């Protein structure tokens, strides 16, 4: 069985206000529409400690910074 990729969204106040509030439902929809729920573990965390570069996502060991809602699907398609 293939190990699930871990996708973590920062839900700290800075990242949430900068765009992760919009990114959260987009990611959920992306995973559902592509039937990736069994392949990707999606969870939220309080803070990545990189507030100045947010909104942030972590995919596996890679921190993706400045994830704007308009570019989110492109990022997810490229990485997942």
Please tell me the pTM assigned to this model: 0.92
Measured between alpha carbons, how far is 25 from 52 in angstroms, rounded to an integer?
23
* Residue 2 clears pLDDT 80, i.e. is over it: no
Q: Give residue-wise pLDDT tens across range 13-61.
A: 999 999 999 999 999 999 999 999 999 999 999 998 999 999 999 999 9
CATH superfamily of 5-79: Glutaredoxin (3.40.30.10)
* Cα–Cα distance, 37 to 30 (Å, whole number): 9
Mean pLDDT of 55-76: 96
């Amino acid at each position: 069985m293939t190990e699930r990729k871990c996708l973590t969204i920062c839900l700290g106040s800075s990242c949430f206000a900068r765009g992760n509030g919009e990114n959260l439902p987009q990611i959920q929809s992306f995973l559902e529409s592509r039937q990736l729920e069994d392949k990707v573990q999606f969870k939220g965390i309080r803070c990545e400690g990189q507030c100045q570069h947010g909104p942030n996502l972590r995919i596996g060991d890679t921190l993706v910074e400045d994830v704007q809602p308009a570019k989110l699907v492109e990022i997810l398609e490229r990485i997942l």
